[in-house]
Amino acid sequence: MTETIINLESVNPIEFFGVNNGKLDVLKKRFPLLKILSRGTQLKISGSPEQIGLAKEKIDLIVQYLERNGHLSENYFEQILGGDDAETVDNFVEKNPNDILVFGPNGKTVRARTANQKKMVQAADKNDIVFAIGPAGTGKTYTAVALAVRALKNKVVKKIILTRPAVEAGESLGFLPGDLKEKIDPYLRPLYDALDDMIPADKLGYYMSTRTIEIAPLAYMRGRTLDNAFIILDESQNTNDLQLKMFLTRIGANAKAIITGDPTQIDLPRNQRSGLEKATRILQNINGIAHVMLDEEDVVRHKLVKAIIKAYDKDHKEEEDHYQKNHR
């Protein structure tokens, strides 16, 4: 049996070990054959040389991340421990400062955190239209908004337009209280939340008042030509064919667009088909249009969200198999 001591003096021990040693417990579960003890700013590890070597690689990666970012959520902590190849290093320890998309309020840095989020960034840099498709919590909207804010700050575009179809869970706007803005705002809240993370409140207020940043329901896009803009259509699975075609044909000169959607969460009435599937199918292999698929490995919300998505995917597959079996 071999024993080694790892010094953690360069990082905040609470950030490494977690509240009530929550992250340390995760580390111990990841390497059950090792005896791992914490001593102040040190880790004492005992076990086979091979297992110690594997653990040390992961610990070094976590330390590098904390040295660069200062904070590491338990979700990211688990993802780093779970990665087994060099791509994991590139995903979590950005060696290039240009990987930062936006500096938010109070020095917060906004980056693409997962492999597929990074693909979104690369696709947006090389194409004028990007479809980003995946389940809830994979950072589609957040990454898209960060790209839009970056483009505005770098003067690549003159304005940002964020839009969604005002369709959610079968509810009708007419039954909601308030004037039109008050009826619509709840549907657009995720876009406001993302902007709050990236732009100081006073500056965001100025951008909104001057319509440099515009947030509006999809119906307001009809008849417009959107030049010199970064345009995001969120929740596109809740558009029909004509609505999605209408949006795509609004794109004008020097404009970029990202269309996000989750085909598993369609809230349209039963007699309406989502236009997202058709659009992604017929717009394949067109230069300037990219398609990026995200999955449960890109989930950056609570760690249980990944498990929830997998459970629903499994149930959906079982239902499909049962349907196919009974309708042969």
For 309, which DSSP code?
Answer: H
In this predicted structure, what is the pLDDT of residue 229? 97
Query: Are 153 and 222 in a shared domain?
Result: yes
Residue 55 lies inside a defined structural domain of this protein: yes
Model pLDDT, residue 86 = 41
Specify the CATH number for the domain of residue 35: 3.30.1370.10
* Whether residue 314 is found in the same domain as residue 176: yes
Q: Any idea what the Cα angle at residue 186 is, between residues 188 and 309, rounded to 5°?
A: 75
Task: Looking at the structure, tell me whether residues 105 and 225 fall in a common domain.
Answer: yes
Give the domain-ending residue among 31, 65, 92. 92
Beta strands in the chain (DSSP E): 2-7, 35-39, 42-47, 100-103, 109-111, 129-133, 159-164, 213-217, 229-233, 256-261, 289-293
- What pLDDT was estimated at residue 132? 96
Asked whether residue 180 is domain-assigned, the answer is yes
Residue 203 structural domain: 98-319
Task: Clarify whether residues 79 and 179 are in a common domain.
Answer: no
Q: What is the CATH number of the domain that holds 197?
A: 3.40.50.300
Q: What is the DSSP string of 287-300?
A: TTEEEEE--GGG--
Phi, psi (5° rounding) for residue 88? -60, -40
Q: Confirm whether 174 is domain-assigned.
A: yes
The owner of tokens 């989502």 is 274
| Statement to judge: residues 80 and 225 lie in one domain | no
327 within a domain of the structure (yes/no): no
Closest CA to 199 of 254, 161, 140, 148: 148
What is the residue-level pLDDT of the chain in tens, covering all 328 positions? 788 999 888 888 888 888 888 899 999 998 999 999 988 888 999 999 889 988 888 898 888 777 766 777 777 788 788 754 444 444 555 444 456 788 777 656 788 888 899 999 999 999 999 999 998 888 899 999 999 999 999 899 999 999 988 765 344 555 555 655 666 677 778 888 889 989 988 899 999 999 999 988 888 888 899 999 999 999 999 999 999 999 999 999 999 999 999 998 888 888 888 999 999 999 999 999 999 999 877 776 666 766 777 788 788 777 777 767 776 6
Partners of 229 in beta bridges: 159
| Tokens 């492999």 -> residue | 115
Residue 60 belongs to a domain: yes
Whether 84 and 108 share a structural domain: no
- The pTM of the full predicted model, rounded to 2 decimals, is 0.64
Tell me, yes or no, whether 78 and 174 share the same domain.
no
| Helix or strand (DSSP H, E) at 1 | none
- CB-based contact 137:160 (threshold 8 Å): no
**Which of these three, 46, 67, 92, is where a domain ends?**
92
Q: Has residue 255 been placed in a domain?
A: yes
If one counts the domains in the chain, the total is 2
8-state DSSP, 327? T
Angle at 320 between CA 315 and CA 322, to 5 degrees: 95
In the chain, the N- to C-terminal Cα span, in Å, equals 60
CB contact at 8 A, 84 and 99: no
**Exposed, middle or buried: residue 176 (CB in 10 Å: 0-12, 13-18, 19+)?**
middle
Taking the C-alpha atoms of residue 53 and residue 37, their distance in angstroms, rounded to an integer, is: 16
Ordered DSSP codes for 58-70: HHHHHHHHHHHHS
For 218, phi then psi, to 5°, come to -55, -35
Asked whether residue 263 falls in the same domain as residue 173, the answer is: yes
Q: Is residue 72 part of a domain?
A: yes
Asked if 287 and 252 touch (Cβ cutoff 8 Å), the reply is: no
Measure the CA–CA gap between 279 and 8, rounded to whole angstroms: 51
| Rounded CA separation 124/149 (Å) | 13
Do 85 and 112 sit in the same domain of this protein? no
Residue 167 pLDDT: 62
**Residue 66 and residue 136 in one domain:** no
Residue 241: Cβ within 10 Å count: 15
pLDDT of residue 123: 95
Residue where a domain terminates, one of 92, 121, 136 = 92
Q: Is residue 328 part of a domain?
A: no
Q: Do 165 and 302 belong together in one domain?
A: yes
Q: Do 102 and 154 sit in the same domain of this protein?
A: yes
